Structure 1
Amino acid sequence: MSVVQSVDNVALLPAYLAAGTAVFVLLVDLVLARAGATVAAAGVGAVATAAGAALTGAGETRRTFCVGADCSWLADDRAALVAVVFALLTLGVLAISWPLLRSGPTPVGEYCFLLACSMTGGVVLGAAGDLITLIVALETLTLPLYVLVGLRRGSVASAEAAVTFFVVSVVATTLTLLGAALLYAVTGGVHLGRLGALFGERPELLDVPLTTAAVALVVLGLAFKVAAVPFHAWAPATYDGAPLPVAAYLSTASKLGGVVALLAVVERALPATVTGPVLALLAVLTMTVGNLVALRQRRTVRLLAWSSVAQAGYILAPLGALALAAGRTDEARAAAYAAAVAYAVFFVLLELAAFAAVVTLRPAGADGGTLDDLRGAARRRPWVGGAFALALVGLAGLPPGLAGLFAKVTVVRSLLDGGAGWLALVVAVNAVIGLAYYLRLAATLWAAPTADGAPAPARPAGAVAAALAVATALAVLVGFAPQLVLDLAAR
């Protein structure tokens, strides 16, 4: 009997636009061979992808690649939100990459092509409806980053970071694929919705040892991508060795991809009673270790890297409460998922603003340097220093960084509603610990420079200044309209 599979090209429009951007960039680079034109082509493609995703996600959910009731592509509001965020992150990273591309030996065409390919993986990831599509999309997001991390020619740290990232990522992918294969062996399905329905209809499957092993492998494999403790060791070294704009993309888009993938499998496929305790433990370890180690950092990028590890713990915390929320109302479970998505969106906006400020305050092509290199930077660049401090305060969860404040309040509220008061207390304690290094870095920006202080770097490129302004403005505006993000995340 033949099986007819439906295809909805409108639902696939964001993926078409993202993949077309990669091809368009290569053609522009080949024909014009001008750095400005190539970067502009990639920027136009990112804007088109965001617009296409917003139009496609408006209204009813569009499904395609369906066989019966099982669909591999779900273009809904959440998929549109994920695609728009990935496109905007790509646009922002392109802007802060301009000094590096203009002054260094970095090949512009290849750089923009790899970023567009990674953006394509992120767009597909948000709409993935089965394990195969999800894993392929996650690898499409990650594979170009191996090359981008190693693009600082002549830098041993960059080469070491690329190799470390490659080895760890391959191990994580292997674990995830093995877990997916074992899930298929137990259930006979790979579609996320079908897996969730099977575990609900046949609870005896949860008593099969193979099921426990499969769920553990999938969760642990994706935990590598999120840089959750104890699978985090690659992140600080990789971020510090990569070019600054690539480190910004790693700490935002790459982490967002891992969070989206983990959310998809936990929400729709894997049983919360099994994943909840594991994710709760990972959340506690991740936020605690990340914050404690960040206190001792003296290099700027390593401090931001360890803080992003801690932020991953805050994102995982609502998912860890799902085991307790499973016996409660559907509203409590929906609030936990929405809190994780909303926190991830707020985090990447603030993190991008922080990295854009570091790029602005450092010489073109340089690494992030030490905290002492930024001493007194806000005295020389008041506007940039103010934007950097606002991003740091937002990450710490203090006003006037309303986006970060709302994000932490949303997470704590979802934990309390889900019956995980002890986890809410851990989040609150870690948020207080995080204040120490965020405020210390912010204070360093206004501290009096030493007698042999570093000279002021050259004025930033207009693209970098614009990216910093836009990222900061988005973070502020989202803080004034947080319910919009939360509503989109809940759909």
Structure 2
Amino acid sequence: MSVVQSVDNVALLPAYLAAGTAVLVLLADLLVARARVTVVAAALGATATVVGAVLVGSGGERRTFCVGSDCSYVFDGRAALVAVVVALLTLGVLGLSGPLLRDGTSPAGEYCFLLAASMTGGVVLGAAGDLITLIVALETLTLPLYVLVGLRRGSLASIEAAVTFFVVSVVATTLTLLGAALLYAATGALHLGRLGALFAERPELLDLPLTTAAVALVVLGLAFKVAAVPFHAWAPATYDGAPLPVAAYLSTASKLGGVVALLAVVQRALPAEVTGPVLALLAVLTMTVGNLVALRQRRTVRLLAWSSVAQAGYILAPLGALALAAGRTDDARAAAYAAAVAYAVFFVVLELGAFAAVVALRPAGAAGGTLDDLRGAARRRPWPAVALALALIGLAGLPPGLAGLFAKVTVVRSLLDGGAGWLALVVAVNAVIGLAYYLKVTAALWAAPVPGGVAGPAASGPGEPVPVGPVPAPAVRAWSVAAVLVAATAAALVLGVAPQLVLDLAAR
């Protein structure tokens, strides 16, 4: 029996552009061998990916690699949103990486190629229609980051962070692959839509121990990628040991990839009555532990890392309410999915803004330092300090950070509509706890500086040499790139133009 498989090259255009960016960077590095040309090639490719995703996404849903009604690649409004955000995050990280590449700390060709390869995985991930495509895309997004974390020459902390990230991520991938294999053994299907239909038509499959084990392994494996408690221990050490731009990418694009993968599996393949209670428990643990530990952090990047853990809990909360929303209207379930996507998008944009401001406030190529190093920063460099304050206020969900406030209100409203009032209360309590450390950092920016400044031992990352003598000021170009990036982001978000647009796209 012959099987005809359809291929839609237009649907694949954003993936072609992302993969072409990686090839273009390799050629630029080989033929020209100038860091500036290589970075420009990567930036042009990422920009072309954004344009391609917008054009293809505006034309409605497109499917390819289909056999019958089962498709391995579905490019719709949500996939276009994910592709655009990942490509824009890549552009932002390239802008922040200027000092790192100019001083030769990291080789420009390898650095830009790995970023482009990771961007390709993120673009494909949003459109994945089966478990194999989803896992391969997620690993394509993650694998280059192992090398990027350890690519900083002469840094023991960077190598330690890369090894930690690699070992934990391999375990997570193994669990996810084992879960996918067991799901195939129990159902004979791998396409997400087909799995969802099978569980709906044959509820007796849920009673099989094999199915229970498969669902648990898939959810727990993806929870590693999101850095959900208790699978979070790798994140703070990895973020703190990585170069600041790479830590920014880890905290944004990598986390967004984990959320997108988990959302796709929960929404389309796995039954909500099984995954809902597990995700609700993970959400409560993640936001509570993340916020409580962040209160005690003195290192800037570790505080942002624990804040990122807590924010993952807010993203998981709407998915945890699906077990209760399953018995309600389809609108309640759609609102839960849209709330998770919208919150993830706003989080990664604000998190990138926070890291951009930290890069602008720190000496070129330096680690994130401690909170004492940020004291009085607003007196020395007011605009980056204001940008950092705006990003932190947005993450806290306070005005004038309308995007963060909108995102938290959207999550709470989806929980109330889904009948999970107790989970909405937990989110509200944790949001209040989070105010303590966000406002503490914001207040430190205008406080009196600590004598000794950044020249003390605390200013260095773990395993890094202590600076001796005067510390050079951040490069003007790095400051301007970071300031423009954060100012543009803050302007769009504070004006409140983006929130409803993102929510509308997420609901498609």
CA positional deviation for 1:470 = 2.6
User: What corresponds to 1:443 in structure 2?
Assistant: 443
User: What corresponds to 2:259 in structure 1?
Assistant: 259
Deviations 1:404-459 (A, max 9, x none): 01000000000000000000000000000000000000111111113323367524
Scaled by the length of structure 2, the TM-score of the pair is 0.95
The 3 A distance-change label for structure 1 pair 368 and 442 is: same
Q: Which amino acid aligns with 1:16?
A: Y
2:55 matched to 1:38? Answer: no
Q: Structure 1 residue aligned with 2:505, among 484, 488, 491?
A: 488
Q: Distance in 1 between matches of 2:476 and 2:203?
A: 59
The 3 A distance-change label for structure 1 pair 126 and 188 is: same
Deviations 1:172-195 (A, max 9, x none): 000000000000011100000000
Report the 3-state secondary structure (helix = DSSP H, G, I; strand = E; otherwise coil) of the residue aligned with 1:127. coil
Q: Distance in 1 between matches of 2:430 and 2:115?
A: 34
Q: Distance in 2 between matches of 1:450 and 1:286?
A: 33
Paired residues of 2:362 and 2:474 also in contact (CA < 8 A): no
Q: Distance in 2 between matches of 1:3 and 1:467?
A: 52
Paired residues of 1:402 and 1:476 also in contact (CA < 8 A): no
Q: Distance in 2 between matches of 1:476 and 1:255?
A: 24
The 3 A distance-change label for structure 1 pair 107 and 392 is: same
2:489 matched to 1:474? Answer: yes
Report the 3-state secondary structure (helix = DSSP H, G, I; strand = E; otherwise coil) of the residue aligned with 1:327. coil
Paired residues of 2:378 and 2:446 also in contact (CA < 8 A): yes
Report the 3-state secondary structure (helix = DSSP H, G, I; strand = E; otherwise coil) of the residue aligned with 1:71. strand
2:477 matched to 1:462? Answer: yes
Paired residues of 1:175 and 1:221 also in contact (CA < 8 A): yes
Scaled by the length of structure 1, the TM-score of the pair is 0.99
Paired residues of 1:99 and 1:461 also in contact (CA < 8 A): no
User: What corresponds to 2:122 in structure 1?
Assistant: 122
CA positional deviation for 1:151 = 1.3
Q: Which amino acid aligns with 1:295?
A: L
Q: Distance in 2 between matches of 1:197 and 1:367?
A: 49
Q: Distance in 2 between matches of 1:344 and 1:241?
A: 24
Report the 3-state secondary structure (helix = DSSP H, G, I; strand = E; otherwise coil) of the residue aligned with 1:189. coil
Large movers: runs of 4+ above 6 Å: none
Report the 3-state secondary structure (helix = DSSP H, G, I; strand = E; otherwise coil) of the residue aligned with 2:97. helix
User: What corresponds to 2:457 in structure 1?
Assistant: none
CA positional deviation for 1:205 = 0.8
User: What corresponds to 2:224 in structure 1?
Assistant: 224
Q: Which amino acid aligns with 1:466?
A: V
- Please list, as runs of the form range in 1=range in 2, the aligned pairs for 1:66-81 lying within 5 A after superposition: 66-81=66-81
The 3 A distance-change label for structure 1 pair 464 and 190 is: farther
Q: Distance in 1 between matches of 2:211 and 2:503?
A: 33
Q: Distance in 2 between matches of 1:151 and 1:361?
A: 23
Q: Distance in 1 between matches of 2:490 and 2:270?
A: 33
Q: Distance in 1 between matches of 2:476 and 2:453?
A: 23
Q: Distance in 1 between matches of 2:481 and 2:370?
A: 25
User: What corresponds to 1:175 in structure 2?
Assistant: 175
User: What corresponds to 1:142 in structure 2?
Assistant: 142
Paired residues of 1:300 and 1:370 also in contact (CA < 8 A): yes
- Please list, as runs of the form range in 1=range in 2, the aligned pairs for 1:397-412 lying within 5 A after superposition: 397-412=397-412
C-alpha root-mean-square deviation of aligned residues, in Å? 1.1
Q: Which amino acid aligns with 1:465?
A: S
Paired residues of 1:183 and 1:214 also in contact (CA < 8 A): yes
Deviations 1:299-336 (A, max 9, x none): 00000000000000000000000000000000000000
The 3 A distance-change label for structure 1 pair 196 and 257 is: same
CA positional deviation for 1:146 = 0.4
CA positional deviation for 1:476 = 3.9
Paired residues of 2:149 and 2:158 also in contact (CA < 8 A): yes
Q: Which amino acid aligns with 2:501?
A: L
Q: Which amino acid aligns with 1:460?
A: A
Deviations 1:371-416 (A, max 9, x none): 1111111111111110000000000000001110100000000000
User: What corresponds to 1:57 in structure 2?
Assistant: 57
User: What corresponds to 1:10 in structure 2?
Assistant: 10
Report the 3-state secondary structure (helix = DSSP H, G, I; strand = E; otherwise coil) of the residue aligned with 2:78. helix
Report the 3-state secondary structure (helix = DSSP H, G, I; strand = E; otherwise coil) of the residue aligned with 1:64. strand
CA positional deviation for 1:156 = 1.5
Q: Which amino acid aligns with 1:473?
A: A
Paired residues of 2:79 and 2:126 also in contact (CA < 8 A): yes
Q: Distance in 2 between matches of 1:68 and 1:142?
A: 31
Report the 3-state secondary structure (helix = DSSP H, G, I; strand = E; otherwise coil) of the residue aligned with 1:11. coil
Count, aligned residues = 491
Question: Which segment drifts farther, 124-133 or 358-367?
Answer: 358-367
Paired residues of 2:360 and 2:482 also in contact (CA < 8 A): no
Q: Distance in 2 between matches of 1:241 and 1:452?
A: 23
Deviations 1:78-99 (A, max 9, x none): 0000000000000000000001
The 3 A distance-change label for structure 1 pair 456 and 387 is: farther
Q: Distance in 2 between matches of 1:276 and 1:476?
A: 36
Q: Distance in 2 between matches of 1:243 and 1:404?
A: 26
Q: Distance in 1 between matches of 2:132 and 2:490?
A: 34
User: What corresponds to 2:235 in structure 1?
Assistant: 235
User: What corresponds to 1:23 in structure 2?
Assistant: 23
Gaps of 5+ in 2: 455-469
Report the 3-state secondary structure (helix = DSSP H, G, I; strand = E; otherwise coil) of the residue aligned with 2:215. helix
Deviations 1:199-246 (A, max 9, x none): 111111111111111000000000000000000000000000000000
Q: Distance in 2 between matches of 1:77 and 1:478?
A: 20
Report the 3-state secondary structure (helix = DSSP H, G, I; strand = E; otherwise coil) of the residue aligned with 1:217. helix
CA positional deviation for 1:60 = 1.9
